[in-house]
A and B are shown apart, each in its own frame.
Chain A
Amino acid sequence: MRDRPSGFGNPWLQLVLSVMCVLVSELLLKRGATETADPASEWSWTGINSLASPLVWWAIILIIISFISWLYVLKYIPLTIAFPLSRVVDILVPLSCWIFLGEVISARRWCGIGLVVVGLALVAKPIARIGERL
């Protein structure tokens, strides 16, 4: 295993960058796909007609950036740790809607967010040990 780079090359920083790009791209994709929806079209199951939306192209650029940093993460961090941590994005979306858009979060959704936070903590706990080994 190679030495873990520091600064911008730090794999944990790259994981954060990757997650932020995914967060924004998910929202852009949903808007772009809805704008161009044409369920009557024969090819619509493939999603190819969504390429007509500029939002989808912006999302693709962000996905490419997140993909490159994700590959970098995979080089240094085990998948059993990196992938579950990357899904922090699934609670960042409802939380940012609550904080920035004033949307209401139901009790069931709060329970889900709580479960994800506990799960993330369990996965993140061995990181200190792995950091030492890297």
Chain B
Amino acid sequence: MTWLSLFFIVASLLSFVGAQLVLKRAMESTNTQSGSLRSLRFISRMAAGIALMTISFFLTLGLLQRFDLSYLYPFQGLSVIIITILAGVILKEKLTMQLTIGGVLISAGIVLVSLS
């Protein structure tokens, strides 16, 4: 793996993780009484989330042209534990020990599945 490919793998992972967090915020804003699908807050968050998803999508396609899916999948597996922790820290979601261990096991399992 070259530094360039590592950079694109990390960039696609981070843009995917960022998109999930921003989209969750966007959808949460529709749950409040003042929230609507036309509010500026919702539209700007949704647009940012979709932009990040699009970046991640094309970076992944570019990576798939060079590497096997089985090679790239372990990195996608890491997204589970990263998102679980960041949802607790940034979105202030309740993060129990049970959820954290569950996230670690799922990530580790995905890495094992895709390595073999």
Residues of A within 8 A of B (CB): 1-2, 26, 29-30, 33-34, 36-39, 44-48, 50, 56, 63, 67, 70-71, 74-75, 78-81, 83-84, 87, 90-91, 94, 106-109, 111-123, 125-126
Residues of chain A lying within 8 A (CB to CB) of residue B93: 78-80
Query: Majority SS of interface residues in chain B?
Result: helix
Question: By the criterion CB–CB under 8 Å, are B101 and A112 in contact?
Answer: no
A56 — which chain B residues lie within 8 A by C-beta?
61
Q: Is the CB of A80 within 8 A of B84?
A: yes
Known: A71-B27, A112-B111. A83 touches B62 (CB 8 A): no
B80 at the interface (CB under 8 A from A): yes
Q: A75-B30, A84-B106, A122-B99 are in contact. Are A39 and B88 (CB under 8 A)?
A: no
B contact residues, total (Cβ < 8 Å): 54
- Interface code B67-105, partner A: CB below 8 Å = 1, 0 otherwise? 001000100110110011001100101111011011111
Query: DSSP majority for the A interface?
Result: helix
Q: Does B65 lie within 8 Å of A44, measured CB to CB?
A: yes
> What number of A-B contacts does a CB cutoff of 8 Å give?
164
Is residue B21 within 8 Å, beta carbon to beta carbon, of the partner chain?
yes
Not counting A45-B62, A74-B28, A81-B99, a sample of 4 additional A-B residue pairs whose C-beta atoms are within 8 angstroms of each other reads: A33-B61, A46-B61, A79-B20, A116-B105
Return chain B residues, CB-CB under 8 Å to A78. 87, 93-94
User: Which residues of chain B from 24 to 39 have a CB within 8 Å of any chain A CB?
Assistant: 24, 26-28, 30-31
B65: which A residues are within 8 A, CB to CB? 33-34, 36-39, 44, 47, 50
With the chains together, A34 CA to B67 CA distance in Å?
10
| Contact in complex: A75, B112 (CB < 8 Å) | no
* Cβ–Cβ < 8 Å partners of B103 in chain A: 80, 84, 119, 123
Please tell me if the beta carbons of B80 and A125 are within 8 angstroms of each other in the complex: no
Do the beta carbons of B106 and A123 come within 8 Å of each other? yes
